[in-house]
Amino acid sequence: MNNEIINLAVPGVRGLEPYRPGKPIEELEREYGVKNAVKLASNENPLGPSPRALAAARTALSDIHRYPDGNGFALKQALAQKLGVAPECITLGNGSNDILELLARAFVLPENEVVFSEHAFAVYPIVTRAVGARPVVTKTRDWGHDLAAMRAAVNARTRLVFIANPNNPTGTWLKREELESFVRDMPPHVLVAVDEAYFEYVGEAEYPDTVAWTGKYPNLVTTRTFSKIYGLAGLRVGYGVSSPAVADILNRVRQPFNVNSIALAAATAALADTEHVTRAVRTNREGMRQLTQAFTKLGLSFIPSVGNFVCVDFARPATPIHERLLREGMIVRPVANYGMPNHLRVTVGLPGENERFIKNLEEVTSGK
């Protein structure tokens, strides 16, 4: 890049690497000349959105000459009712990613530190560096968050801690007691953001619902999304749940119309379709079993995951395997940028998509 222009960028932004998304299907088909590519790379819902969400989106289309409801009244009401919190506790975002960024922008100064774990979601270092603050990355424990290490990393300069539960890309999760004791121990000058993008997929009895703690901990923020189980990734809508005081601050810095009108309508309708969510959970559970049984059969180990994705370990650099899969029209996610060069992350697909991935994997790993 032009040297002079880069020097005009604010210091934190100069060294930033952009977030690397999963390859879009069209891009692979264009670049590799393959047809019927399958994408198991971005933790999307393979069932697609609820038909009710689609119908609401179509209806909302006829009003797109109007600005959206900047306060997202209907969606906030529906979320408040479902979650058992006051609407004042909710901040709507252009994806939950927006909320993560708003947290850094509204609360973190360049002299502050932001704590998160190794192998945690790639957006945490981006939003931290973008505001010029120092990322403090704690070592992992069994691919997951080491809460004792994270607690020890908190000091007078810390302003924000990010915890992904479950974590992407590893699929590891934290139990209710350990997480609540961590949140309880945080000093008042530290905000804890618990990122629950995959909340609805988790069936473990000891998995915490941190939204239920909103009234207890004024410095806690839970983020969730309509991109994953609700199948609305392309519309960009997510939310934060926090004390009204934190929500008030976030609302001061967000764009006035950060969630578009189609997304608002679709998300409100999606929330009401609990059957679709149940179906997605079931499809995911069965698909996860299908994939992990195949890994075991192929002698490949994997990180047990409670999300809609799983990291498989090739015990050698995964780049050539990833390349071969791409040439077969199979898009999965390399995670070398997460410090995991021997793994690939696979999103659980529909049974036929999983089957095709397993077949491709068998061919690639047997050297055929």
- Binding track, positions 116-145, relative to ligand PMP; x by CB under 6 A: -----x------------------------
Choose the binding region for ligand PMP from 91-99, 138-146, 242-250, 348-356 (rule: CB under 6 A): 91-99
Compute the least distance from the CB of residue 314 to ligand PMP, in Å. 22
Lookup result for tokens 């309508």: 265
Query: Where in 238-267 is the site for ligand PMP (CB under 6 A)?
Result: 238
Q: Could you give phi then psi for residue 29, rounded to 5 degrees? A: -65, -40
Q: Which of 179, 169, 164, 171 is nearest to 124 (CA)?
A: 164
Closer to ligand PMP at the Cβ: 120 or 294? 120
95 lies in the binding site for ligand PMP (CB under 6 A): yes
Query: Where in 193-232 is the site for ligand PMP (CB under 6 A)?
Result: 195, 197, 225, 227
Contact, 37 vs 25, CB < 8 A? yes
Closest residue to ligand PMP, based on beta-carbon distance: 95
- Binding track, positions 40-79, relative to ligand PMP; x by CB under 6 A: ---x------------------------------------
**Residue 264: its H or E element:** helix 261-272
Closer to ligand PMP at the Cβ: 41 or 294? 41
In DSSP terms, which residues pair with 192 in a beta bridge? 161, 220
Closer to ligand PMP at the Cβ: 238 or 334? 238
CB proximity list for 27: less than 8 A, separation 6 or greater: none
233 lies in the binding site for ligand PMP (CB under 6 A): yes
3-state secondary structure of 47: coil
Closer to ligand PMP at the Cβ: 308 or 360? 308
Contact, 225 vs 95, CB < 8 A? yes
- Written as one string, the DSSP assignment of 107-141 is H--TT-EEEEETT--THHHHHHHHTTPEEEEEPPB
Closer to ligand PMP at the Cβ: 231 or 238? 238
Q: Which of 22, 46, 11 is nearest to 286 (CA)?
A: 46
* Interacting residues toward ligand PMP by CB under 6 A: 43, 95-97, 121, 164, 168, 195, 197, 225, 227, 233, 238
